Amino acid sequence: GGKDSMLMNKPIYIGCDDSGFAAKQSIINYFNEKGIEYVDCGSDDTPSRYPYYAAKVASAVSVGTADKGILICGSGIGMSIAANKYKGVRAALVSDSYSAYLTRRHNDSNVLCLGGCTSGRWTILEILDIWLNTDYDGGHHDKSLELIAELESCNFSGECWCPEEKPYPDFEWDPAQKL
């Protein structure tokens, strides 16, 4: 498996907050080395709010502009919570290679969430490589994804939150609250 995963017609959308910036740069280097097209949705190392960047990536996947997305914050938890608020997004927080494999094989995850402060560079790149090169199994897993789609159609109104500009003023982090 994996040949179908790498034959993507659409670029991968990638976003982070300041805590995920270094990891994002490593992933972008990986993309450049492998010739994988991507759209960098920000941020940089300036203090930022993860929901804004999660919206940029998850909304692209939700409306079909992207087939896959990658989000990185300090732990990956906030990004995964925000991304899963979008219809059609199956965001998975992954911190080990076996989970990367399973979330593609069994859940057809389309957004990979990573912890820039909780996973090392080599672990992140291994997870990414496995996630990108593992295909969805289908079969008995299809019914679960159909049920998720059914609950989404009941629960979502159809509007998609993705502000053009960041919806918060510049700020500095309280060092006591860093990971």
Catalytic (active-site) positions: 73, 106
Cα–Cα distance, 15 to 24 (Å, whole number) = 7
Reduced to 3 states (helix: H, G, I; strand: E, B; else coil), residue 44 is coil
Strand partners, 73: 115
Can you read off the two tokens belonging to residue 141?
A: 């897993």
The three-state secondary structure class of 51 is helix
User: Between the CA of residue 89 and those of 29, 108, 149, 178, what are the distances in Å?
Assistant: 25, 10, 10, 28
Its sign, for the CA torsion 105, 110, 114, 120, is positive
What angle do the packed helices 21-34 and 121-132 form, to 10 degrees? 50
36: its two tokens: 């994988």
